Amino acid sequence: MDDLLLLMALVALVAYWFGSLSVRERAITRVRAVCQRNGVLLLDQTVALRRLRLRRDGAGQVRFQRSYKFEFLAGDGDIRRRGDIQLLGRKIEKIILELPDHTLHDSP
């Protein structure tokens, strides 16, 4: 019985890990597109999970809410700027880019 519980926990952990990779790739793809539209360069290696929590969506289903932070280079040169993207499940809720002259809030 203990072996079965351990196996189930391991399977759940692996499923969560693969799901997280998929969500992170979705976030990177969307952030890259928003950065291109705004003439800035996303630094891919800076995308990192900032916060993970459980939250209900509009239908009342419990989902993981993930917030990622990232950095990009703005048109003003070598200065790194910060951005954030927030997802609920696989749905992107908001993207924030701290641009030199204003802060851009983008949502789906």
Domain that holds residue 43: 2-106
Encoding tokens for residue 77? 């040169």
Q: How would you list the strands of the sheet with 91-98, edge to edge?
A: 41-56, 62-73, 80-88, 91-98, 103-106
Largest CA distance in the chain: 61
CA distance 68 to 61: 22
H or E, element range at 94: strand 91-98
**Structural domain tally of the chain?**
1
Mean pLDDT by runs of 10 across the 108 residues of the chain is 83 82 90 89 88 94 94 80 93 89 67
Q: Say what the pTM is.
A: 0.80
Residue 74's beta-bridge partner residues?
none
